[in-house]
Amino acid sequence: MFPRAFEYVAPDTLDEALALLAEDPDETRALAGGHSLLPLMKLRLAAPRRLVDLRRLRGALAHVQPANGNGGGLAIGALVTYHALATDPSVHERHPVMAEVAAAIGDLQVRNRGTIGGSLAHADPAGDLPAVALALDARLQLTARGGAERTVPATDFFQGAYTTALGPGELLTRIDLPTPLAHSGAAYAKARNPASGYAVAGVAAFLALGADGRVATARVAVTGVGEVAYRATACEAALRGQEPTPERLREAVAQAAAGVQPLEDVYASGAYRAHLTSLYAERALRRALERARGAS
């Protein structure tokens, strides 16, 4: 199918892009990599009257650099591609799980065009990066016309299927990742849909251990299961302050889908998705624990 006729604009500056988005926010969409938006337009599931192509803004929004006033944290521009995330030395050093996940998204063409900001703003219920952003406790900078900025925690950003905290005319411009905690590790594991590669159930886990070897911090984020990526708070609570024995991990992951109505489709029933959530939560937590115990 062909998309509805639309106006195409490729501004040279961020200010120009924000001005265009603000003129008619209900009928204007920003275009980053295009791998999610353009197929929807071809199916006429999305029909914006204007596309604002952000490709000329890569010089301003495609950086990976230390976050201001945030020690070992990272500030990642929204137009950083999956390939750049997967190969950047500072991402590998400070948040290797982000690099690992980016390296496994789609194929080579998708990784060279798709962007972290586009993925997070699209908020696909089965996307990989929303779960990683939640597990790493990311903070997202949103920018509006005139340079007005606000920062939203990842826990507040994802609000529903393809729905985020972005307001009319706002653009996601930067993703801030915190300084890695001592004796911490993170991992991601998923059941992959064999046709699309999206998560049938995917879990990103972050663990930080105290001096006594018990879990000081636990963040477990799930994608592909509910209508939006979410933090499995019951699972996290079952881990905090506990010795991370295999038995304790199994008890905790049994609650990874607690309070969520799992999605159902032709590939997986809700009960099967709930089972996969526990299974892959345990795999992610075991790997995160190995890394936390090996971290300096």
Element holding 266 (H helix, E strand): none
CATH code 3.30.390.50 region(s) in the chain: 184-294
Instruction: Mention the CATH class of domain 60-177.
Output: alpha beta
Retrieve residue 98's tokens: 């982000």
Please tell me the CATH code under which domain 184-294 is placed.
3.30.390.50
Q: Cα separation of 286 and 136, whole Å? A: 17
- Return residue ranges of the chain for CATH 3.30.43: 7-51
The fold of the 7-51 domain, in CATH, is 3.30.43
Long-range contacts of 188-196 (CB under 8 A, 24+ apart): 188/97, 188/100, 188/101, 188/128, 188/131, 188/132, 188/135, 188/284, 189/280, 189/281, 189/283, 189/284, 189/287, 190/128, 190/223, 190/224, 190/280, 191/224, 191/276, 191/279, 191/280, 193/126, 193/267, 196/126
- Tell me which residues of the chain have a pLDDT lower than 50: none
Helices 270-294 and 246-253: crossing angle in degrees, nearest 10, is 140
* pLDDT of 70: 59
Residues of the chain with CATH 3.30.465.10: 60-177
pLDDT of 14: 95
State how beta strands 184-192 and 149-153 pair: unpaired
Give the pLDDT score at 193: 93
Residue 184, CA atoms < 13 Å, CB-side half-sphere: 21
